Structure 1
Amino acid sequence: MHDESTRRLPSQERFPGLRRRGFLAATGAASLGVVALAGCGGGSGPGADESKGDGAPRRGGRLRAAFAGGGASETLDPHLANLFADAARAKALFDKLADYGADLSAQPRLAEKWEANKALDRWQVTLREAAFHDGKPVTAEDVLYSYRRIADPGQAFRAKASLEPIDLDASRATGQRSIEFVLKRPTAEFPNILAAFGAYIVPEGATGFDRKPIGSGPFRFVSFAPGRSAVFRRNDDYWDGAPHLDEIEFVVANEESARVNALLGGQVEYAHELNPATARAHEGKGQIEIVRLRNSAMQGFAMKTDRAPFDDRRVREAFFLIADREELVDGALSGAGVVGNDLFGKGYEYYADGLPQREQDLDRARALLKRAGAEKLKVTLDTSAVAAGFTEAAGVFRDQAKEAGVTIDVKTGSKDSYWSDILDNGALCCYRSGAMPIEAHISQRLLTGSTTNATKWQHKDFDALYQQAQSTKDRTGRAAVYERMQRRLYTEGGFLIWGFADWILGIARNVKGVEENAPANTLDWARFDKVWLT
Structure 2
Amino acid sequence: MRPHGLGPCRCELSGGTVKTANNLRTRIAAVLCTSALLATGCASDSSDDEEKGSGGSGSLSMDEIYRTGLVDVPEAAGEPTQGGTLTVAEYAEAVSLNPVQTYATGQTGMNVLAAIYDTLMRYDVESKTFEPRLAESLETTDNVTWTLKLRDGVKFSDGTTLDADAVVGSIEYYMANYGFQGTLIQANLKSMKATDKSTVEFTFKTPWATFPNLLASGPGLIMAPAAYKNPEKFQPIGAGPFVLKSQAPGEKTIVAANEDYIDGRPYLDEIEFVMVGADQAKWESLRAGEVDMAYIRQDDVVQDVREAGYPAMVNAQSGVRILTLNAREGRPSSDVRVRQAINYAIDAETYMERTTGNGEIADRGLIAEFSEWASDAEPVETDPEKAKELLEEAKADGYDGKITYLGQSDSTSKDAAVAVKAMLEAVGFEVELDLVNNVAEQTKKVYIDGDFDMAIGATSIPDEDVYSRLYAALGSASMSNPGRYANPEMDKLLTDLQAAASPEDGAEEMAAVEDLWREDVPYVNIAGGAFVNAWHDDVHGIVPTAESSILFDKVWIED
- TM-score normalized with structure 2 length: 0.71
Q: What is residue 443 of structure 2 aligned with on the other side?
A: 419
Task: Tell me which protein shows more helix as a share of its residues.
Answer: 2
The 1-side partners of 2:529 and 2:220 are apart by: 26
Q: Which residue of 2 aligns with 1:148?
A: 172
Deviation track 1:353-383 (CA, whole Å, cap 9, x = no partner) reads 2112333233333344345547994422111
For residue 516 of structure 2, what is the aligned residue in structure 1?
488
Query: Following the alignment from structure 1 to structure 2, what is the Cα–Cα distance between the partners of residues 80 and 483?
Result: 34
Q: 1:320 aligns with which of 343, 351, 356?
A: 343
CA-to-partner distance for each residue in 1:217-260, whole Å, 9 max, x for gaps?
23344444444433334457755676553432222334556645
Between the two proteins, the alignment pairs up a number of residues equal to: 479
3-state DSSP of counterpart to 1:409: strand
CA distance in 2, matches of 1:215, 1:458: 38
Q: Which has the higher contact order (CA 8 A, sep 6+)?
A: 2
CA 1:100–1:345 in 2, change beyond 3 Å: closer, same or farther?
farther
State the match for 1:8 in structure 2. none
Percent of matched pairs sharing the same residue: 22
Q: Sort the Cα spacing of 1:114 and 1:385 in 2 relative to 1 into closer, same or farther, 3 A.
A: farther
- Indicate which of 234, 238, 248 corresponds to 2:271: 248
Rounded to whole Å, the distance in 2 between the matches of 1:511 and 1:336 is 34
In structure 2, the residue matched to 1:429 is 455
From 450, 459, 478, the counterpart of 2:487 = 459
Alignment of 1:204-215 (within 5 A): 204-207=225-228, 213-215=236-238
Residue 23 of structure 2 corresponds to: none
The equivalent residue for 2:470 is 442
Structure-2 residue corresponding to 1:28: none
Structure 1: 5+ residue stretches without partners = 1-13, 25-51
Match of 2:200 in 1: 179
Deviation (angstroms), 1:201: 0.8
Residue in 2 that maps onto 1:343: 366
Asked if 1 retains the 8 angstrom alpha-carbon contact of 2:207 and 2:499, the reply is yes
Q: C-alpha deviations, 1:382-410, integer Å up to 9, x for none?
A: 11259x95443222222233443444322
Q: Give the structure-1-normalised TM-score.
A: 0.74
In the TM superposition, what is the alpha-carbon distance from 1:511 to its structure 2 partner? 3.5
Structure-1 separation of matches of 2:303 and 2:472: 35
Secondary structure in 1 aligned to 2:403?
Answer: strand
Aligned CA distance change for structure 1 residues 176 and 225 (closer, same or farther; 3 Å): same
Give the direction of change, closer, same or farther, for the CA distance of 1:143–1:385 in structure 2 (3 Å limit): farther
* Structure 1 residues 190 and 404: CA distance shift in structure 2, 3 A: same
**Structure of higher CA gyration radius:** 1
Distance in 2 (alpha carbons) for counterparts of 1:87 and 1:392: 31
* Closer, same or farther: CA 390–452 of 1 in aligned 2, 3 Å: farther
Equivalent in 85, 89, 94 of residue 117 of structure 2: 94
Structure 2: 5+ residue runs without aligned partners?
Answer: 10-73
Q: Matches of 1:204 and 1:421 in 2, distance apart?
A: 35
Q: 2-side partners of 1:100 and 1:390: how far apart?
A: 34
Which among 234, 255, 262 is matched to residue 232 of structure 1?
A: 255
Q: Deviations over 1:244-287 (max 9, x none)?
A: 5343222233455664564454332223346445566777569x
Report Cα offsets for 1:80-134 as digits up to 9, x if no partner. 333745321111122222345559875543334334465x654322224462355
Asked if 1:191 is matched to 2:191, the reply is: no
The structure-2 alpha-carbon separation of the partners of 1:261 and 1:96, relative to structure 1 and needing over 3 Å to count, comes to same
3-state SS of paired residue (1:301): strand
Decide which of 526, 529, 532 is 2:550's aligned counterpart.
526
Q: Secondary structure at the match of 2:550?
A: coil
Which deviates the most, 130-139 or 172-181? 130-139
User: Which SS does the other structure have where 1:343 is aligned?
Assistant: coil
Classify 1:54/1:200 alpha carbon distance in 2 versus 1 (closer, same or farther; 3 Å): closer
Q: Take 2:108 and 2:452, find their aligned partners in 1: how far apart are those partners? A: 31
CA RMSD of aligned residues (A): 4.2
Q: Distance in 2 between matches of 1:444 and 1:22?
A: 31
Cα distance change, pair 491–111 in 1 and its aligned pair in 2 (3 A): farther
Q: Please say if residues 337 and 394 of structure 2, whose CA atoms lie closer than 8 Å, have aligned partners that are also in contact.
A: yes
TM-aligned CA deviation for residue 64 of structure 1: 0.9
In the alignment, does 2:331 pair up with 1:303? no
Query: Do structure 1's residue 113 and structure 2's residue 134 form an aligned pair?
Result: no
> What residue number does 1:354 align with?
376
